[in-house]
Chain A
């Protein structure tokens, strides 16, 4: 310790001399990052707000129309349907992910042989992209060349090959299955970090007091990992509200436009119909929803971990 102090004292003194100028160099180091964020994030963000007040076609003159786009949104039943579907999907898929991921997290948290293999296997689908996963499942779900309908038919479960993507219910639940397959491993790892932060002697003490596994789970595990649960929950909700890839690739929003999500509707308005101003107004609504979710997240995460 004394040697370190001996070295650092003269260094500190020297630092003070050139301190002012040297500290400013820090701005230079962060400048590229700030420039990128300003050009590709802050400016576009302000432009979205500005564009939402305009009639802004891809070609031709744009005109300022005030809040007209927002009034139009109020009457846009198809957007509200998309938003309602997105909400429904978010609730269902989040519950489904947790129902699968929590047992998996409890399973891999206990050390035993082959835990590493199990953990890696469960996590593998999480590293491939949503686009790859969607393309993969669009094949598995195909009625003629896929896996599920032909397999069900061969096994005698169905009388003919059923097209899973032709009607809403089977199509919707197919997407849920695909997303759970892809995302459960990710949520599992997040939940595992929470489980590992619980001191093992707490569990032991409760066990000595005669608490059963279920009682211990409710009285110790759940309250102690409230923050982790909140994080996993918010990640899942935010990801689901922004869902696009799987509905675009597997279902093209069908059957009968019943699975258009909010992002999908914005995409259609902006890049298929080229109503850029209207798309921007829709984006603002989405943005407000997501920022609200983030603020809720901050609140939940700020609460200290532990029993009240």
Chain B
């Protein structure tokens, strides 16, 4: 009897726990799902409150078409965002792999000072140095260019990604390197052929963080990209949402937010392991 009762209680506990989990999951997922579904309503229906969230008068991509008629359209800012994010990923990976290797495997003058210098930039908020960054970009002819924005984003990624890469290289046993050196590998082939395959999980992690950082960044893009043709998606969508292109079309806002969210969500779901790894590395150290 007592055993049966305690089993019943355990099952009851489990049901309660899963009910809590499902309700909480719903609360966290609902705004995302609501937006993605509502974006597929016809324009007429989009003006009404989203109750229910799914289209009731037929499935439509009208909102995406409308979004494309504002300012320079949807494709140009999307292209800008893709360019900036991909370039940030490529450059920050190259620069941090080189620097991580250098800091991990060589002893040169000022090494510790330079490492601390790069890492300590994480303490300084970039929000407080945006004006001079703007002036520096003007000075070197990169103001109002996507390349200039990429340089800023790469610099912001460096403390985290160099720290990650140095640890990744540190974890590679020196014996492997020495064996390769015996086989006549020089520094460059050593890095490309021997080391890279061993540190690639670290590279995926920093690439993912660089992409999400660049794709989602708002303030620097808002300040540095003054020309409408250079707007990234967040800046273009904020201009639209503020009514800069006439009356606010909430259907177009839902469509734009969907375009902004989906790449992040897909990348995260595919590479979740690497994302959590990056967070842990940051949290433990």
Q: Residues on A close to B: CB < 8 A?
A: 4, 7-8, 10-12, 14-15, 22-30, 32-34, 36-37, 39-45, 47-48, 51, 104, 107, 112-114, 117-118, 120-125, 127-132, 135-140, 142, 144-147, 150-151, 154, 181, 184-186, 189-190, 193-194, 228, 231, 238, 242, 244-245, 248-249, 252, 263, 266-267, 270-271, 276, 279-280, 283-284, 286-287, 290-291, 294
Contact yes or no, A132 B136, CB < 8 A: no
With a cutoff of 8 Å between Cβ atoms, the chain A residues found around residue B99 in the complex are 29-30, 32-34
**Would you give the shortest CB distance from B20 to chain A, in whole angstroms?**
7
Q: Is B155 an interface residue (CB 8 A)?
A: yes
With a cutoff of 8 Å between Cβ atoms, the chain A residues found around residue B106 in the complex are 22-27, 29
**Would you give the shortest CB distance from A187 to chain B, in whole angstroms?**
11
Contact yes or no, A249 B25, CB < 8 A: no
Contact of B155 among A36, A114, A123 (CB under 8 A): A36
Contact yes or no, B155 A37, CB < 8 A: yes
Q: Which of B1-9, B66-74, B257-265 contacts A (4 or more CB under 8 A)?
A: B257-265
With a cutoff of 8 Å between Cβ atoms, the chain A residues found around residue B98 in the complex are 29-30, 32-33
Contact yes or no, B96 A125, CB < 8 A: no
Task: State in angstroms the CA–CA spacing of A15 and B107 once bound together.
Answer: 12
Contact yes or no, B132 A118, CB < 8 A: no
Interface residues of B in 213-245 (CB under 8 A from A): 215-219, 223, 234, 237-238, 241-242
Give the number of chain B interface residues (Cβ < 8 Å).
Answer: 98
Task: State in angstroms the CA–CA spacing of A31 and B103 once bound together.
Answer: 11
A-B contact pairs, 12 of them (CB 8 A): A7-B179, A27-B106, A36-B151, A47-B129, A107-B24, A114-B18, A125-B28, A127-B275, A145-B47, A146-B250, A248-B238, A280-B131
Which of chain A's residues has its CB closest to B240's CB? Answer: A135
Contact yes or no, A279 B131, CB < 8 A: yes
Q: Is B212 an interface residue (CB 8 A)?
A: yes
Asked if A29 meets B51 with Cβ closer than 8 Å, knowing A40-B155, A47-B132, A129-B234, the reply is no
Contact yes or no, A33 B187, CB < 8 A: no
Task: State in angstroms the CA–CA spacing of A11 and B114 once bound together.
Answer: 29
Contact of A11 among B125, B135, B182, B264 (CB under 8 A): B182
Contact yes or no, B279 A190, CB < 8 A: yes
Contact yes or no, B127 A263, CB < 8 A: yes
Looking at B32, B162, B272, the one whose CB has the most chain A CB atoms below 10 A away is: B32
Q: Is B105 an interface residue (CB 8 A)?
A: yes
5 additional A-B pairs beyond A10-B182, A37-B158, A286-B125, beta carbons within 8 Å, are A26-B107, A33-B96, A47-B129, A189-B279, A290-B123
Which of chain B's residues has its CB closest to A143's CB? Answer: B49
Contact yes or no, A135 B237, CB < 8 A: yes
Task: State in angstroms the CA–CA spacing of A22 and B187 once bound together.
Answer: 9
Contact yes or no, A290 B125, CB < 8 A: yes
With a cutoff of 8 Å between Cβ atoms, the chain B residues found around residue A194 in the complex are 283
Task: State in angstroms the CA–CA spacing of A114 and B109 once bound together.
Answer: 52
Interface residues of B in 20-50 (CB under 8 A from A): 20-21, 24-25, 27-29, 31-32, 34-35, 46-50
Asked if A122 meets B279 with Cβ closer than 8 Å, knowing A37-B158, A128-B261, A132-B234, the reply is no
Task: State in angstroms the CA–CA spacing of A263 and B223 once bound together.
Answer: 12
Main secondary structure of the interface of A (DSSP, over half): helix
Looking at B31, B121, B241, the one whose CB has the most chain A CB atoms below 10 A away is: B31
Asked if A283 meets B131 with Cβ closer than 8 Å, knowing A30-B102, A34-B118, A244-B219, the reply is yes
Contact of B264 among A47, A114, A129 (CB under 8 A): A129
Task: State in angstroms the CA–CA spacing of A32 and B128 once bound together.
Answer: 24
Which of chain B's residues has its CB closest to A34's CB? Answer: B114
Contact yes or no, A263 B219, CB < 8 A: yes
**Would you give the shortest CB distance from B53 to chain A, in whole angstroms?**
8
Contact yes or no, B280 A193, CB < 8 A: yes
With a cutoff of 8 Å between Cβ atoms, the chain A residues found around residue B89 in the complex are none
Asked if A124 meets B265 with Cβ closer than 8 Å, knowing A27-B108, A181-B31, A280-B131, the reply is yes
Q: Is B192 an interface residue (CB 8 A)?
A: no
**Would you give the shortest CB distance from B16 to chain A, in whole angstroms?**
12
With a cutoff of 8 Å between Cβ atoms, the chain B residues found around residue A25 in the complex are 106, 108, 187
Contact of B132 among A34, A44, A136 (CB under 8 A): A44
Task: State in angstroms the CA–CA spacing of A24 and B109 once bound together.
Answer: 8
Asked if A270 meets B241 with Cβ closer than 8 Å, knowing A136-B31, A185-B28, the reply is no
In the complex, the 7 A-B pairs of residues with the closest C-beta atoms, listed nearest first: A26-B106, A129-B216, A29-B102, A150-B49, A47-B132, A44-B132, A131-B234
Contact yes or no, A120 B182, CB < 8 A: no
**Would you give the shortest CB distance from A136 to chain B, in whole angstroms?**
5
Contact yes or no, A124 B102, CB < 8 A: no
